[in-house]
Amino acid sequence: MDIELKEGLKTVLQFYRELGFESLPLSCSDELEVANYKLNDSRNENSKDQLVEFDGIAPQCPKDAQLKVLRKEIGECQRCKLFSGRTQIVFGEGSLNATIMFIGEAPGKEEDIQGRPFVGDAGRLLTKLIEKMGFRREDVYIANIVKCRPQMNREPQGDEMSTCFPFLDRQIQVISPKVIMSLGKIATYALLDIKVPMSKFMITKTRGSVYDYKGISVVPTFHPAYLLRNPRDKWLTWEDAQAVLKII
């Protein structure tokens, strides 16, 4: 935001503060960023310079507006090296009121082409699982740890995950599901506070219990691509799915 606009906004907000307002009922549109400039609580003269404070996305605004702002903020992202190999960003999709969120690793070839998560072979298996759980794909929310396809479908690297993760974190806060089903080792490791190094982390030892991410239950399970190669383990994922259903 340019300095002149910021100064003008400061003056207006100061005026309203002097009138006794502590917040403003601004509309939740594309101008949502402006709505996030809050009146500072403190009436102390010394705090005038900090009168305007940017506070991210206004939680009182509708979820679709919040996600629109988040998507706009991501923009044509070049924050990590994955941008050079992608066709497009795969933001995530699903119901804004989803009680279950499925989080995978990274877009693959088909996802990169279509701009949608889990639409290839692994995605078809995930859709089957969702339906077996009694939902339609549109009822849940699906996203990935990173939003761009790693070339040759390699695993996303630590710096790529940590750069992208804050956007997923905000998506989770907006959707606010009751439970997250983390799909595979990478997604589970990124979401949970795991003490062992990634090379020693095993999804087989982690699945079977319920964990927590900022107050939201996390049920880890196998990645659908693993299940395509190891169909004999599908029953374990079904057990995990039942743990999810128990929570909601």
Closest separation between CB of residue 144 and ligand URA, Å?
Answer: 5
Check the CA dihedral 244-219-171-223 and report its sign. negative
Under 8 Å between Cβ of 237 and 220 = no
E strand or H helix at 62: none
Closest separation between CB of residue 232 and ligand URA, Å?
Answer: 20
Q: How many angstroms separate the CA atoms of 181 and 96, rounded?
A: 16
Q: Which residue is nearest to ligand URA (CB)?
A: 104
Under 8 Å between Cβ of 166 and 173 = no
Tokens read off for 25: 């009922």
Closest separation between CB of residue 131 and ligand URA, Å?
Answer: 17
Closest separation between CB of residue 61 and ligand URA, Å?
Answer: 27
Under 8 Å between Cβ of 233 and 216 = no
Residue 28 vs 224, nearer CB to ligand URA: 224
Residue 13 vs 119, nearer CB to ligand URA: 119
Give the binding site for ligand URA (CB under 6 A). Answer: 104-108, 111, 117-118, 120, 122-123, 144, 225
Q: How many angstroms separate the CA atoms of 244 and 210, rounded?
A: 9
Closest separation between CB of residue 119 and ligand URA, Å?
Answer: 7
Residue 118 vs 213, nearer CB to ligand URA: 118
Closest separation between CB of residue 116 and ligand URA, Å?
Answer: 8
> Residue-wise over 223-245: b if at least 16 C-beta within 10 A, else e?
bbbbbeeeeeebebbeebbebbe
Going by C-beta distance under 8 Å and a sequence separation of 6 or more, which residues neighbour residue 167? 70, 73, 74, 147
Q: What are the backbone angles phi and psi of residue 90, rounded to the nearest 5°? A: -105, 95
Residue 14 vs 114, nearer CB to ligand URA: 114
Residue 150 vs 177, nearer CB to ligand URA: 150
Q: Give the ranges where the chain is alpha helix by DSSP (H).
A: 3-18, 32-35, 63-74, 109-114, 121-132, 158-175, 184-191, 203-206, 224-229, 234-247
Residue 195 vs 229, nearer CB to ligand URA: 229
Closest separation between CB of residue 153 and ligand URA, Å?
Answer: 8
Tokens read off for 101: 């969120």
Residue 117 vs 220, nearer CB to ligand URA: 117
